[in-house]
């Protein structure tokens, strides 16, 4: 007889679903659609030649090492390099504070595995990163949403949320996915203090920190927490778990990211990773180290910044020209996304349906809200499409919005 698989699945699978975005994006896979829906880096900035050289060097000089099983913690020279990099931002971190993961999504999964009992609360921004919700839903997380404005999480509202007794606070302070907002320095300091006051850890997700196109770099939350706690003898033992990634600095197709956390948390994460996939691909780690070790990424990030700044500017300029006056949008100082806000009552999911007919797509903002809301918002990606394509796509979108508004108005 046929196996009735659906009755075999564990309870946690009831909250595992394919992401709304993925389903929507399937509609946009026709080649003539201009999609601002994804979150892909521009393939034009991948340092293909540099990676090729590194592959050759690594395989010629240490092929046996690079192709063998390796430690769960990650390739030591790579972790040492990341620790040195953090030292530039005056965060004292030892290699023992670092775990290499197969992309930041894996770090989010492990954090869920480590901390979330079914029904535990997590404080998130509203809107927040969808991948984090997906990772933690499987562990039975509930969410307390804190509203945001153009300077990120409204920290005055955070204290209320902290009194719920959450397991941790999740925050994406730089050029947030999806909103593009950046948490101000004042608010970061207040965040560190409030988290300390209530004894609630912070998970800081920082994939885009180095992709700033204007204004001054703001210290990361882990850096402010480190400063708040004073000298620590070269290892980090504070209240923040910090995530970053090579996906946006080098390439996402090699799946390479890292976690910075107190040593005791890293030790637990290592156990999680051991059971989950043994270790991140040895070859990819050594190749990334080979590419980055001479300071190459510093130079390369300048190329990425110039490319994405141009694309962001083209998107903003075109929006100013063609979007209806009723729409507003954010002006992100970096990253890969901006956030459109339509008049209240206008449903971005309905807009998407009409937009797809006009061969342009985006992600409706409701998908990024853990507890509902945001029906009149939309996320637009500006890193992937070339400038002339952005111009054309935004023009189509502007027309769509104007037509729908004038119809609704009648």
- Residue 236 CB neighbours (<10 A): 26
- Residue 61 CB neighbours (<10 A): 11
Q: Quick one: tokens of 304?
A: 């990425």
CA distance 84 to 90: 10
Single residue of 12, 163, 302, 331 touching a second copy by CB under 8 A: 12
Single residue of 30, 90, 156, 274 touching a second copy by CB under 8 A: 274
Q: Quick one: tokens of 332?
A: 């992100």
- Per rule CB under 8 A, is residue 18 in the interface with a second copy? yes
Single residue of 31, 88, 199, 372 touching a second copy by CB under 8 A: 199
- DSSP of 328-347: EE---SBSSEEEEEPPTT--
Compute the least distance from the CB of residue 64 to a second copy, in Å. 4
What count of residues does the chain have?
A: 410
104-123: contacts with a second copy (CB under 8 A)? 105-106, 109, 113-117, 120
- Per rule CB under 8 A, is residue 138 in the interface with a second copy? yes
- Per rule CB under 8 A, is residue 137 in the interface with a second copy? yes
SS3 call for 34:
strand
Residue 362 contacts by C-beta under 8 Å, 6 or more apart in sequence? 35, 36, 37, 340, 348, 352, 355, 378, 379, 380, 381, 397
- Per rule CB under 8 A, is residue 36 in the interface with a second copy? no
Compute the least distance from the CB of residue 410 to a second copy, in Å. 42
DSSP run (H or E) holding 54 = helix 48-66
- 290 vs 400, beta carbon nearer a second copy: 290
Task: Give the contact letters, 39-78, x = binds to a second copy (CB under 8 A), - = no.
Answer: -xx-xx-x-x--xx--xx--xx--xxxxxxxx--------
- 380 vs 401, beta carbon nearer a second copy: 380
- Per rule CB under 8 A, is residue 245 in the interface with a second copy? no
- Of 354, 278, 310, 231, the closest CA to residue 73 belongs to 278
Stretch of 4-12, 149-157, 295-303, 313-321 contacting a second copy, by CB under 8 A: 4-12
- Per rule CB under 8 A, is residue 20 in the interface with a second copy? no
Helical residues (DSSP H) of 212-262, grouped into ranges? 221-229
- Per rule CB under 8 A, is residue 277 in the interface with a second copy? yes
- Per rule CB under 8 A, is residue 158 in the interface with a second copy? no
CA distance 206 to 132: 13
Compute the least distance from the CB of residue 82 to a second copy, in Å. 19
- Per rule CB under 8 A, is residue 124 in the interface with a second copy? no
* DSSP E strands, 87-211: 98-101, 121-126, 142-149, 152-153, 168-171, 202-205
- Per rule CB under 8 A, is residue 381 in the interface with a second copy? no
- Per rule CB under 8 A, is residue 278 in the interface with a second copy? yes
CA distances (Å), origin 392, targets 180, 329, 388: 22, 18, 6
Stretch of 35-43, 155-163, 343-351, 365-373 contacting a second copy, by CB under 8 A: 35-43
Compute the least distance from the CB of residue 3 to a second copy, in Å. 5
CA distance 236 to 82: 13
Compute the least distance from the CB of residue 80 to a second copy, in Å. 19
Compute the least distance from the CB of residue 361 to a second copy, in Å. 17
287-346: contacts with a second copy (CB under 8 A)? none
- Residues 25, 47, 302: CA angle, nearest 5 degrees: 90
Compute the least distance from the CB of residue 56 to a second copy, in Å. 6
- Per rule CB under 8 A, is residue 10 in the interface with a second copy? yes
- Per rule CB under 8 A, is residue 275 in the interface with a second copy? yes
- Per rule CB under 8 A, is residue 4 in the interface with a second copy? yes
């Amino acid at each position: 007889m046929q196996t009735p698989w659906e009755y075999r699945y564990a309870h946690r699978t009831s909250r595992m679903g394919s992401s709304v975005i993925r389903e929507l994006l399937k509609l946009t896979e026709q080649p003539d659609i201009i999609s601002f829906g994804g979150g892909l880096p521009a393939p034009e900035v991948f340092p293909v030649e540099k990676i090729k050289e590194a592959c050759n060097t690594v395989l010629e000089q240490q092929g046996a090492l690079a192709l063998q099983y390796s430690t769960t913690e990650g390739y030591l020279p790579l972790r040492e390099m990341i620790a040195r990099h953090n030292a530039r931002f005056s965060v004292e971190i030892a290699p023992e504070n670092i775990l290499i993961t197969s992309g930041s999504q894996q770090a989010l999964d492990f954090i869920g595995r480590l901390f979330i009992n079914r029904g535990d609360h997590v404080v998130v921004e509203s809107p927040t990163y969808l991948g984090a919700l997906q990772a933690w839903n499987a562990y039975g997380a509930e969410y307390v949403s804190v509203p945001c404005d153009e300077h990120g999480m409204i920290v005055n509202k955070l204290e209320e949320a902290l009194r719920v007794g959450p397991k941790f606070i999740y925050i994406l302070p730089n050029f947030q996915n999806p909103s593009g907002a950046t948490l101000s320095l004042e608010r970061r300091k207040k965040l560190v203090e409030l988290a300390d006051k209530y004894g609630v850890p912070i998970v800081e997700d920082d994939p885009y920190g180095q992709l700033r196109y204007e204004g001054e770099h703001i210290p990361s939350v882990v850096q402010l927490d480190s400063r708040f706690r004073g000298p620590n003898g070269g290892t980090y033992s504070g209240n923040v778990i910090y995530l970053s990634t090579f996906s946006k600095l080098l390439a996402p197709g090699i799946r390479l990211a890292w976690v910075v956390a107190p040593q005791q948390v890293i030790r637990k994460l290592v156990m999680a990773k051991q059971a989950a996939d043994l270790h991140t691909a040895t070859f990819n780690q050594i190749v990334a180290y080979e590419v980055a070790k001479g300071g190459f990424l510093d130079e390369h990030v300048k190329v990425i910044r110039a490319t994405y700044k141009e694309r962001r500017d083209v998107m903003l300029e075109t929006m100013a020209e063609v979007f209806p006056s009723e729409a507003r949008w954010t002006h992100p100082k970096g990253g890969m996304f901006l956030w459109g806000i339509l008049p209240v009552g206008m449903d971005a999911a309905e807009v998407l349906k009409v937009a797809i007919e006009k061969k342009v797509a985006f992600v409706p903002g409701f998908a990024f809200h853990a507890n509902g809301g945001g029906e009149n918002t939309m996320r637009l990606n500006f890193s992937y499409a070339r400038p002339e394509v952005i111009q054309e796509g935004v023009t189509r979108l502007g027309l769509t919005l104007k037509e729908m508004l004038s119809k609704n108005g009648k």
